[in-house]
């Protein structure tokens, strides 16, 4: 080695060969901007949140043609699977996502001998996977991980036997996983936004030694933002821009069913001129298979071939998919959806539940809406959409609305009902249940879209405080109620037979009250329990209850023997904490014979019965029932006179008289 003095390194050609440049979606190439539009496997590169647009299974493959590949190069093959409606998983194999550099060099010794050799540099991203999550109906998140592998075949000159110059090959390998994080926001069918953090995290598996580290791939963290605007169903405009001061813009036009035309441009402050390339492409479908062809044409292609090693080392390669060496190219992408491949026509934009479900009045939701859904027509033609609602365990099958006519891109609000089964009557305490809202706009078996919401189901004894719903606790056909009334009437049948026929109902009510009062005791109604009501059978079994319990129980007893009743709901405007309910029952005595009941008109109420005939109604206050029928009648009559006649409660709206409609 004594003859080896100073080595002189000459660069003969800085860049000799570059193969398989890659932009991972022909649709994205054609539009020039794809961050807010991506809807297939290429989301692993553009925006991983975009894979959430895959309906079920979807296989994707791509190829590229350029002057450096000298033919059609197979690029990627992979698939995406959607599962549990809100999650997707993607996996891709990319044999063509590779860049190879050859740097020819000459090493000259002092003795004049020269040795020519090549430095080979290779970059590739052979594998990638990603995950997407539909966080809300408008927002999707996703991440992707790409395996970057780097290889350098370097040379070292040496003197063999002091006279002959030789070189030896030294290989270096490096690899890492680069992770991207993306989000897509679709606040409306006409607007979407995407954002992706590229190379946000990097997990190194191996690294280059220091002497060749300058040739390593540059993993630069960048933030790319994109937006898409669809002013009409047949046109879409898109824009991308990133923190590297480069971006793209373009549009997509639907010329007719299944055929799209695209054009765009790539730009950036680092380019001269400002616009670096123009793009174009077409898309078409055969059955459910989608084909996309894109073309990328750089305005100064020769500038991408005149690169020195100094430039290469100083700038480096930051992205295999798109960099300063990428050449003009044509690309083809094929997407083959599997599983649910039909076109979806409607989408649920939002769901609102009207309130809580009370088991005592569950039947009202069969005809009174329990909620409403905002449904949008996402197709290009008018549709007729039906909304269905279902709660597992408490409904035997989904309820479905009538068809609603919706124009393209129009949104309508559709109210839906619910037919619950008997299981809901036995919910012991409040529960929170998942409910499904679905929309169907086509004759297909499956629904176009689904949305999950939460439904609060109260306990079987819960009451919302409204006198209208209190009547749902009245159960005249309950076996315990029928057994009680039949026993009393049977034991007092001789007394009833002796009474005047016109007063038969009055005497029956009096006897039932006396027997009822003898068996039960009134329990003071604390403020904390005002939203809980016992069913009549429970009141009989417990031998007591509060104001609401006793009123409901006695109304059930009277209804079971054919006597109509009504609740008097009193809510004093300046003393709402003194809200109170007492009872009226129809004696059946015609108003013209009211003196048979009492010669004091303040002791009774004249009102129409269910047949429209004016009869005498008797007020009863059940809180004093242990003091007997006459006392309960006296107190009830005074309350009615004070609140209704003197206070004008009915006229002023703070007193309501609610006829009890027994639930049979």
**Residue bearing the bigger pLDDT, 214 or 600:** 600
Does residue 1 form part of some domain?
Answer: no
* Structural domain total, the chain: 3
Pairing mode of beta strands 521-522, 544-545? parallel
Q: What is the pLDDT of residues 301-355, one digit of tens each?
A: 665 555 555 666 666 666 666 676 777 888 899 998 887 556 678 999 999 999 8
Predicted pLDDT at 378: 85
CATH of the domain at 477: 3.10.620
Q: What is the pLDDT of residues 561-571, one digit of tens each?
A: 999 999 999 99
Predicted pLDDT at 264: 93
Percentage with pLDDT > 90 across the chain:
44
Segments forming the whole domain that contains residue 401: 346-457
Predicted pLDDT at 262: 95
- Mean pLDDT along residues 180-185: 94
Does residue 79 form part of some domain?
Answer: yes
**Residues 386, 474: one domain?**
no
Phi, psi of 239 (to 5 degrees): -145, 135
**Residues 399, 513: one domain?**
no
Predicted pLDDT at 15: 38
**Residues 581, 614: one domain?**
yes
Domain boundary among 403, 430, 457: 457
- Mean pLDDT along residues 359-384: 90
- Mean pLDDT along residues 38-43: 90
Domain boundary among 430, 457, 484: 457
Does residue 664 form part of some domain?
Answer: no
Contact 292, 298 (CB under 8 A): no
Strand order in the sheet with 614-620: 605-608, 614-620, 580-590, 565-570, 655-659
Q: What is the pLDDT of residues 260-291, one digit of tens each?
A: 999 999 988 777 778 888 999 999 988 778 99
Does residue 2 form part of some domain?
Answer: no
Element (H, E) at 310: helix 309-315
- Mean pLDDT along residues 55-83: 78
Count CB-CB contacts under 10 A for residue 426.
Answer: 9
* pTM for the whole structure: 0.52
Predicted pLDDT at 544: 85
Count CB-CB contacts under 10 A for residue 2.
Answer: 6
- Mean pLDDT along residues 71-92: 84
Question: Band of the pLDDT at 424, cuts 50, 70, 90?
Answer: very high
- Mean pLDDT along residues 49-63: 87
Q: What is the pLDDT of residues 223-255, one digit of tens each?
A: 999 999 998 878 999 999 999 888 899 999 988
Predicted pLDDT at 6: 37
Predicted pLDDT at 312: 63
Cis omega (within 30 of 0) on the bond before 273? yes
Domain boundary among 457, 484, 513: 457
**Residues 578, 435: one domain?**
no
Does residue 3 form part of some domain?
Answer: no
Alpha helices in 492-546 (DSSP H): 493-498, 504-519, 536-542
**Residues 277, 257: one domain?**
yes
CATH of the domain at 48: 2.40.160.60
- pLDDT surpassing 90 at residue 370: yes
Predicted pLDDT at 343: 67
Compute the mean pLDDT over every residue in the chain, rounded to the nearest whole number.
84
Strand partners, 355: none
**Residues 392, 411: one domain?**
yes
Angle at 13 between CA 7 and CA 16, to 5 degrees: 130
**Residues 555, 497: one domain?**
yes
- pLDDT surpassing 60 at residue 68: no
Q: At how many degrees (to 10) do helices 504-519 and 479-491 cross? A: 110
- pLDDT surpassing 90 at residue 98: no
CATH of the domain at 396: 2.60.40.10
Query: Residue 74 has which token pair?
Result: 């197979």
- Mean pLDDT along residues 399-421: 93
- pLDDT surpassing 90 at residue 257: no
**Residue bearing the bigger pLDDT, 147 or 320:** 147
**Residues 334, 356: one domain?**
no
Does residue 565 form part of some domain?
Answer: yes
- pLDDT surpassing 60 at residue 128: yes
Does residue 218 form part of some domain?
Answer: yes
Does residue 576 form part of some domain?
Answer: yes
**Residues 562, 489: one domain?**
yes
Predicted pLDDT at 31: 92
Q: What is the pLDDT of residues 613-660, one digit of tens each?
A: 899 999 999 888 888 899 999 999 999 999 998 888 888 889 999 999
- pLDDT surpassing 50 at residue 529: no
**Residues 145, 266: one domain?**
yes
**Residue bearing the bigger pLDDT, 99 or 501:** 501
Question: Band of the pLDDT at 8, cuts 50, 70, 90?
Answer: very low
**Residues 497, 626: one domain?**
yes
**Residues 327, 360: one domain?**
no
Question: Band of the pLDDT at 33, cuts 50, 70, 90?
Answer: very high
Predicted pLDDT at 386: 94
């Amino acid at each position: 080695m004594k003859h080896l003095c100073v080595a002189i390194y000459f660069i003969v050609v800085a860049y000799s060969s570059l193969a398989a440049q890659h932009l991972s979606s022909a649709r994205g190439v054609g539009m020039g901007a794809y961050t807010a539009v991506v809807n297939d496997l290429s989301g692993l590169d553009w925006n991983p949140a975009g894979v959430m647009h895959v309906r079920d299974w979807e296989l994707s493959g791509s190829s590229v043609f350029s002057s450096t590949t000298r033919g059609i190069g197979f690029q990627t093959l992979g698939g995406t699977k959607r599962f549990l409606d809100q999650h997707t998983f993607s996996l891709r194999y990319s044999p063509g996502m590779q860049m190879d550099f050859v740097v020819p060099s000459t090493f000259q010794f002092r003795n004049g001998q020269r040795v020519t050799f090549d430095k080979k540099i290779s970059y590739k991203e052979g594998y990638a996977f990603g995950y997407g999550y539909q966080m809300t109906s408008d927002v999707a998140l996703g991440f992707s991980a790409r395996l970057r592998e780097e290889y350098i075949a370097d040379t070292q000159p040496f003197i063999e036997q002091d006279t002959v110059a030789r070189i030896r090959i030294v290989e270096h390998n490096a690899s890492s996983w680069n992770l991207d994080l993306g989000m897509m926001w679709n606040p409306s069918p006409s607007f979407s936004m995407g954002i992706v953090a590229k190379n946000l995290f990097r997990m190194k598996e191996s690294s280059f030694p220091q002497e060749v580290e300058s040739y390593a791939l540059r993993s630069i963290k960048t933030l790319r933002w994109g937006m898409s605007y669809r002013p009409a169903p047949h046109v879409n405009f898109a824009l991308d821009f990133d923190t590297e001061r480069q971006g793209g813009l373009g549009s997509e036009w639907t010329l007719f069913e299944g055929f799209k035309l695209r054009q765009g441009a790539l730009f950036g402050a680092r380019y001269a001129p400002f616009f670096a390339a123009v793009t174009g492409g077409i898309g078409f479908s055969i059955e459910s298979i989608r084909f996309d062809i894109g073309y990328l044409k750089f305005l100064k292609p020769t500038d991408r071939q005149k690169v020195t090693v100094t430039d290469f080392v100083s700038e480096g390669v930051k992205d295999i998919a798109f960099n300063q060496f990428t050449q003009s190219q044509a690309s083809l992408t094929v997407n083959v959806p599997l599983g649910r491949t039909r076109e979806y026509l409607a989408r649920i934009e939002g769901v609102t539940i009207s309130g809580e479900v009370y088991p005592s009045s569950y039947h009202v939701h069969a005809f009174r809406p329990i909620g409403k859904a905002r449904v949008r027509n996402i197709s290009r033609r008018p549709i007729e959409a039906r909304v269905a609602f279902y709660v597992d365990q408490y409904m035997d099958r989904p309820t479905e609305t009538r068809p609603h006519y919706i124009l393209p891109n129009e949104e309508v609000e559709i109210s839906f009902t619910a037919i619950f089964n008997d299981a809901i009557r036995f919910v012991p305490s409040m529960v929170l249940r998942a409910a499904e809202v679905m929309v169907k706009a086509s004759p297909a078996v499956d629904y176009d879209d689904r949305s999950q919401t939460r439904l609060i189901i109260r306990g079987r004894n819960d009451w919302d405080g409204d006198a209208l719903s209190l009547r749902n606790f009245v159960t005249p056909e309950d076996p315990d109620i029928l057994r009680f009334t039949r026993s009393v009437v049977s034991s007092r049948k001789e007394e009833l037979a002796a009474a005047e026929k016109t007063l038969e109902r009055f005497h029956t009510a009096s006897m039932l009250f006396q027997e009822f009062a003898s068996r039960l005791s009134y329990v003071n109604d604390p403020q904390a329990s005002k939203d809980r009501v016992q069913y009549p059978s429970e009141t009989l079994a417990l031998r007591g209850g509060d104001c609401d319990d006793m009123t409901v129980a006695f109304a059930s007893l009277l209804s079971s023997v054919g006597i109509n009743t009504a609740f008097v709901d009193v809510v004093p405007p300046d003393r709402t904490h003194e809200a109170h309910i007492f009872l009226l029952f129809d004696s059946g005595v015609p108003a013209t014979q009211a003196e048979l009941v009492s010669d004091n008109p303040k002791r009774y109420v004249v009102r129409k019965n269910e047949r429209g005939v004016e009869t005498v109604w008797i007020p009863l206050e059940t809180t004093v029932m242990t003091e007997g029928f006459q006392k309960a009648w006296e107190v009830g009559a005074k309350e009615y006179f004070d609140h209704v006649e003197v206070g004008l409660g009915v006229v002023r709206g703070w007193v309501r008289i609610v006829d009890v409609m027994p639930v049979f």
